[in-house]
Structure 1
């Protein structure tokens, strides 16, 4: 299988499990933690972007979230191919933790820069976001590995 296809599939699988975890935590904590919904709310509350009638089901937030997931796996491939080829518990926690800290930083910037950002318990959101990124990394890395390793490290 071509590397680009493995990256896309691994990113999609990781993003799916991350999103499901965020949705579960949203229900448990009675807070909005689902990244696609929060993205849609940011879009809907922006003056320069078109209104979104249903933040929960509108595809824009989901598309942007999945593209971001594929972007993360692409970065894993560019920066640390070994983690994709031989994921271990330690590597998954390290990559997931670094991804989570990056995600937290991006969300903090988005919330701070947006005039009408969505409300949620920020501490709870960032805590679950860190765990969600570890889940993302675990499922994405294991999926990439399961799709087969190639001796070639370039995009084919």
Structure 2
């Protein structure tokens, strides 16, 4: 195992960051798959970049798929979700079960849907996609996020 992943010496913040990145990566992969299958734009970093690009007060983005702004904000949000899990749910992280992961994923998905609905409703020119499909996939994507982030955290915390 690489020395930077030495579980004994790893601090909680390191575990939170790594778990948030892993969970966000698998969530995004799921969003890519749903987006491709439904031929709609559901990929969160791309949607963030479209919101930025369509804003009058923000600089335009030439490559909405790969611009780092959307990706950075998406990964920062994933790390933030994982930090909230850690703050609120320390005992549950120690003993995650399928039901706890499902419940936390659904709650996170509902928060995510509420945030995206607010962003779309407050934006003058929100990006277009099939909203019901987007929110449905967003709920499932948050369950995927929770499964992978909590499992990663648990694996990193195994020796502590």
TM-score by length of 1: 0.95
Q: Where do 1:61-140 residues align within 5 Å?
A: 61-140=70-149
User: 1:59: how far off?
Assistant: 0.8
Q: 2:133 is paired with a residue of what secondary structure?
A: helix
Name the structure 2 match of 1:46: 55
2:157 is aligned to 148
Q: For 1:2 and 1:106, how far apart are their aligned partners in 2?
A: 30
Show CA shifts across 1:48-86 (max 9, x none).
111000100111101000000000000001111122211
Please state whether the residue corresponding to 1:48 is helix, strand or coil: coil
Structure 1: tracts of 5 or more residues without a match: 152-156
4+ long deviations beyond 3 Å: none
Alpha-carbon distance in 1 for matches of 2:38, 2:94: 36
Q: CA deviation at 1:148?
A: 1.7
Question: Does the 8 A contact of 1:83 with 1:141 survive in 2?
Answer: no
What SS does structure 2 have at the residue aligned with 1:31? coil
Q: CA deviation at 1:87?
A: 1.1
RMSD between superposed Cα atoms in Å: 0.9
Q: Does 1:34 align with 2:58?
A: no
Structure 2 length normalisation: TM-score? Answer: 0.92
The C-alpha deviation readout for 1:102-136, integer Å capped at 9, x for no partner, is: 00000000000000000000000000000000000
The alignment covers a number of residue pairs equal to: 151
| Residue aligning to 1:154 | none
Distance in structure 1 (CA, Å) of the matches to 2:24 and 2:75:
6
